[in-house]
Structure 1
Amino acid sequence: MEVVSFRIPPELKRKMKKVDINWSEEVRKFIEAKVKEYMREKALEEIDAMLASLPEAERGTAKKYVRDDRDSN
């Protein structure tokens, strides 16, 4: 595993010592969640960009395809 460090105010550090929490694990979980959230948002932006570049179908196209499929059986 890699090591990451950051600074916090001394008062916060004192308060953290009074709480029985595995801070490394909590920070790791938080970072993992933030990375997942970022990746999801980035994927949605890419999908939106791809969809925006597609030509628009005329109104009723999906309805026509469904009807054609049902009638072919």
Structure 2
Amino acid sequence: MFSVKIKREVKEKMERYRDRVNWAEEVRRFIEETIRRLEAEENFEDVLRRLEGARWQVPGGYSAALVREDRDSG
């Protein structure tokens, strides 16, 4: 649990809309979405690092063979 300091004017506005907005739920949702986004960014960066370190090649002539095969099938 934690607390957040907000300006008085913001608190007054929140009070005005408290019957329409569950502020605690909004804060929880924001935190959860932010965590999901950050984890996704970290996972993406990890995948990129792994791909950069990968040592694999396409056999010579492979692309040309695929293009030729595609032309011949049409």
For the criterion TM > 0.5, the same-fold answer is yes
Q: Please list every run of 5 or more consecutive structure 2 residues that lacks an aligned counterpart in the other structure.
A: 67-74
| Percent identity of paired positions between Structure 1 and Structure 2 | 31
The match for 2:27 is 27
CA distance in 1, matches of 2:57, 2:6: 55
For 1:47-66, what aligned pairs fall within 5 Å after superposition?
47-58=47-58, 60=62
Unaligned runs of 5+ in 1: 65-73
Please tell me whether residue 4 in structure 1 is matched to residue 2 in structure 2: yes
Report deviation, 1:7: 1.0
Moved over 4 A (4+): none
Q: How many residue pairs get matched?
A: 61
Q: What code does the residue aligned with 1:4 have?
A: F
What is the TM-score normalised by the length of structure 2? 0.73
Q: Which gives a bigger RCO, structure 1 or 2 (Cα 8 Å, sep 6+)?
A: 2
TM-score w.r.t. length of structure 1? 0.74
Q: Give the root-mean-square deviation of aligned CA atoms.
A: 1.9
